Structure 1
Amino acid sequence: MSHRKAVVTGIGVVAPGGIGTKAFWNLLTEGRTATRAITHFDASGYRSRIAAECDFDAAAAGLTAAETDRMDRCAQFAVVAAREALADSGTAADDVPAHRIGVSVGSAVGSTVTLEREYVRVSDGGSRWVVDASDPYPHLYRALVPGALGAEVAWTAGAQGPVRVVSTGCTSGLDAVAQGAQFIEDGQADLVVAGATDAPVSPITVACFDAIKATSPNNADPEHASRPFDRDRDGFVLGEGAAVLILEEAGAARRRGARVYCEVAGYAQRGNAFHMTGLRPDGAELAEAVRVALDRARLPAAAVDYVNAHGSGTRQNDRHETAAFKTALGEHAYRVPVSSIKSMVGHSLGAIGALELAACALAIETDTVPPTANLRTPDPELGLDYVPLWAREHRTDTVLSVGSGFGGFQTAMVLTAPRPGVRDA
């Protein structure tokens, strides 16, 4: 069995409410929400007309005109987050051979913005079945192929090692980081740029969720529409963004005196083989993922100091994961604080898992549990310690983060405080 472990030495974030890790963490710890009426397009004809949008200026974020032209919005997010994460890690990549640097990027819906925009253009607003191919967008192929996201991040990092793009719906971010950690554990790479990105605030995506009534119709009060675990919740609020973590082999990070946020201690993925959008109320498959992740981390359930929940704001999800926590953690489930940052930054599909892991790493570093904004009337059916409204100071050495994705995907990851000798030298 390999004794190699992955640690997090850099974080980069593009999120609603502010660009950069500092702005992201300030938003969360202050319990502010970034949900608002959609501004990216005219959403007046939709059931749900709210989202958590990023106030993102590509030029201000350091992208050139050529980069902006060739990259979809989600790829732009990924590259900007990767640059911040690499800078935050200090000299992490300086002495690592290019063939020992890997990339693992997750995304649920990829380059939706570009694909939809270009289809509308060449079909004259959808009025023509035979589209006009006389004036093609030169980078359309990049938008079509999900692998382009991995390529852009690899070019940013100068990575010539293994590159993967993971698309498992709303668990894509967690799964991409798990894949990156696996690269390090297996000896395939010594440094991995891992994370996820999505920019789904577009007509087609909003229409898809309208069709299944998964998103909140609380258009009159968008700031308070995302209400995980609240008795009056009525669906999730769509979001967008990206987060990238720099993963290093723990021994190498120790030797260079790196600042280490946390260790990726364990992870597991399961499926429910049940329904495309439905969840089993007993949460058995998520409970099994939690159990296996803790086993891999060699930790008992009682070691978990904080649970970063999927907490989408739908009744079936809240019931599903609450049941899973009670099964997997036993009596400890009633003592451990739980929260959902989707209450503040919305649900950015594949990207949210990576954003949540960034929040978990910062929670470990600062011993602070971010709150669940808008949680004013807890659902009495649930019965756990869902941290409401304000951040809580709390010793946070071990964090469990979970995700659920359409298709029945379930992922659990355990992050732990760095062991002595791995934290800041």
Structure 2
Amino acid sequence: MSRRVVLTGIGVRTPGGSGADQFWDLLTAGRTATRRISFFDPAPYRSQVAGECDFDAEAEGFTPREIRRMDRATQFAVVCTREAVADSGLDLDGVEPHRIGVSLGSAVAAATSLENEYLVLSDRGREWEVDPTHLSPYMFDYLTPGAMAADVAWTVGAEGPVALVSNGCTSGLDAVGQAAQLIREGSADVMITGATDTPITPIVVACFDAIKATTPRNDEPARASRPFDGSRNGFVLAEGAAMFVLETHERAVARGAHIYAEVSGYGARSNAYHMTGLKTDGREMAEAIRAALAESRLDPEAIDYINAHGSGTKQNDRHETAAFKRSLGEHAYRTPVSSIKSMVGHSLGAIGSIEIAACALAIKHNVVPPTANLHDADPECDLDYVPVVARERRLDAVLTVGSGFGGFQSAMVLTRAGGTR
């Protein structure tokens, strides 16, 4: 019999939110944290808005050497890891190091540092042949995504399974799903897991500009992200991170830990169809949802809230609306759905974990976060998308989903911990 897995610690960094409390206050107030890009001059770009984090590495306790060595995304992951461990109340010294693992998700890894190093080596693009004497001694850490997971492992002294999951925009869901599986099968007793991404760089902005995936609504940064609204025209790029402590239900109960939620089920599928395109019927996402429900041993009618991928692109919003109907049937029409990307933007690989944090907090507080900026729903998106204002509701089972370039489709069920299954 597989072991039950529970979430006992949360650490979060998002636009407009430093820590879980600020993050939750932002969501329940329906405030948006998107703004005009300030990290560089965005004037040459089609989309000039983003969800930026106010993050001071020195104030967070990093030394000058650590700041030089660690990419911004790694710094986010380490800070959130420290917060999650402290929040969990878990004494890691009391856990055998080889029974602690790390599963970290990221879509673009050290994109910030790689672009900065390219600018130095090429003299801001002027030189085709670069001078290696200007090469950073930490280039290996930037080029090898697994180095980010290693930094998290060093932070907590983890000597068990350590890996980085990079599945595009489902990375944050898939990393936590992998972590839960390692605990269930007995490969680890405690997993430090979550995801991080800091993609607000000129080259990443230019890439999304080229395919017109991001919004050009530059005159209204706070209202630019509009999932499910008839006037939506693309997503808002963002950065952020969320990290968690997962452990066995038995361990958490024995030490009297506060349990946010149980990771009851996880499923992942691929559409094997197109790098960026989605089929209109939502079949692959629906199959991932069914797999997550089956693992959680829940019927569709048990779901009390759906945290949508809700990126704010027309094809995604319609695709997952179809997936919810396909997997939940008539219950989909009775289930509140919302997208927190309307408030914190889309932080690529990190957002799946950030949304898990939102779901765990929603269960704790029995509140459904709203979909901000939703005033005129697309007629093809005809479910209850909780527009503008948060809603109080008893939440015992929550479904969160993700969709990523490459055809990745993932789903996870979180449930209120307690009782037996």
Global fold match (TM > 0.5): yes
**CA distance in 2 between partners of 1:7 and 1:352 (Å):** 20
**CA distance in 2 between partners of 1:240 and 1:120 (Å):** 21
Aligned-partner SS, 1:385:
coil
Aligned-partner SS, 1:13:
strand
Residue 189 of structure 1 is matched in structure 2 by 188
1:216 lines up with 2:215 in the alignment: yes
Q: CA deviation at 1:136?
A: 1.8
**CA distance in 1 between partners of 2:26 and 2:43 (Å):** 28
Q: CA deviation at 1:94?
A: 3.5
**CA distance in 1 between partners of 2:155 and 2:247 (Å):** 17
1:157 lines up with 2:156 in the alignment: yes
1:399 lines up with 2:398 in the alignment: yes
Q: How do 1:155-304 and structure 2 match up within 5 A?
A: 155-304=154-303
Runs of 5+ consecutive residues of structure 1 not aligned to the other structure? none
Residue 34 of structure 2 is matched in structure 1 by 35
Aligned-partner SS, 1:102:
strand
**Per-residue displacement from partner, 1:279-336 (whole Å, max 9, x unpaired)?**
0000000000101110110000000000000000000000100000000000000000
Q: How do 1:72-221 and structure 2 match up within 5 A?
A: 72-221=71-220
Contact 2:305 2:336 in 1 (8 A): yes
What amino acid does structure 1 have at the position aligned with 2:17?
Answer: G
**CA distance in 2 between partners of 1:14 and 1:118 (Å):** 25
Q: CA deviation at 1:135?
A: 2.2
Residue 389 of structure 1 is matched in structure 2 by 388
Deviates more, 1:10-19 or 1:92-101: 92-101
**Per-residue displacement from partner, 1:100-159 (whole Å, max 9, x unpaired)?**
000000000000010011111110111111111112211111001001110010011110
What amino acid does structure 2 have at the position aligned with 1:115?
Answer: L
**Per-residue displacement from partner, 1:152-178 (whole Å, max 9, x unpaired)?**
100111100000100000000000000
**CA distance in 1 between partners of 2:210 and 2:376 (Å):** 28
Contact 2:120 2:134 in 1 (8 A): no
Aligned-partner SS, 1:316:
helix
**CA distance in 2 between partners of 1:379 and 1:368 (Å):** 25
Aligned-partner SS, 1:239:
coil
What amino acid does structure 2 have at the position aligned with 1:378?
Answer: A
**CA distance in 2 between partners of 1:229 and 1:354 (Å):** 21
**Per-residue displacement from partner, 1:23-69 (whole Å, max 9, x unpaired)?**
11111011000100000111110000000000000111222222111
Alignment identity in percent?
63
Q: CA deviation at 1:184?
A: 0.2
What amino acid does structure 1 have at the position aligned with 2:178?
Answer: Q
1:23 lines up with 2:28 in the alignment: no
Residue 364 of structure 2 is matched in structure 1 by 365
Contact 1:343 1:373 in 2 (8 A): yes
What amino acid does structure 2 have at the position aligned with 1:147?
Answer: G
Q: CA deviation at 1:382?
A: 1.3
Aligned-partner SS, 2:262:
strand
Residue 307 of structure 2 is matched in structure 1 by 308
**Per-residue displacement from partner, 1:246-281 (whole Å, max 9, x unpaired)?**
000111111111100000000010000000000000
What amino acid does structure 2 have at the position aligned with 1:104?
Answer: S
Q: CA deviation at 1:92?
A: 4.5
**CA distance in 2 between partners of 1:147 and 1:377 (Å):** 43
Contact 2:169 2:404 in 1 (8 A): yes
**CA distance in 2 between partners of 1:260 and 1:271 (Å):** 32
Runs of 5+ consecutive residues of structure 2 not aligned to the other structure? none
What amino acid does structure 2 have at the position aligned with 1:231?
Answer: G
Seen in structure 2, the aligned counterparts of structure 1 residues 412 and 421 have a Cα distance that, compared at 3 Å, is: closer
Q: CA deviation at 1:3?
A: 2.7
Residue 413 of structure 2 is matched in structure 1 by 414
Deviates more, 1:14-23 or 1:175-184: 14-23
Q: CA deviation at 1:10?
A: 0.1
Residue 379 of structure 2 is matched in structure 1 by 380
What amino acid does structure 1 have at the position aligned with 2:309?
Answer: H
Q: CA deviation at 1:420?
A: 4.0
**CA distance in 2 between partners of 1:128 and 1:5 (Å):** 56
Contact 1:254 1:421 in 2 (8 A): no
Contact 2:13 2:241 in 1 (8 A): yes
Contact 2:2 2:185 in 1 (8 A): no
Contact 1:93 1:191 in 2 (8 A): no
Contact 1:308 1:360 in 2 (8 A): yes
What amino acid does structure 2 have at the position aligned with 1:383?
Answer: D
Q: How do 1:327-342 and structure 2 match up within 5 A?
A: 327-342=326-341
**CA distance in 1 between partners of 2:336 and 2:389 (Å):** 12
Q: Using structure 2 for the length normalisation, give the TM-score.
A: 0.99
1:319 lines up with 2:318 in the alignment: yes
Q: CA deviation at 1:18?
A: 2.2
**CA distance in 2 between partners of 1:393 and 1:409 (Å):** 32
Deviates more, 1:52-61 or 1:304-313: 52-61
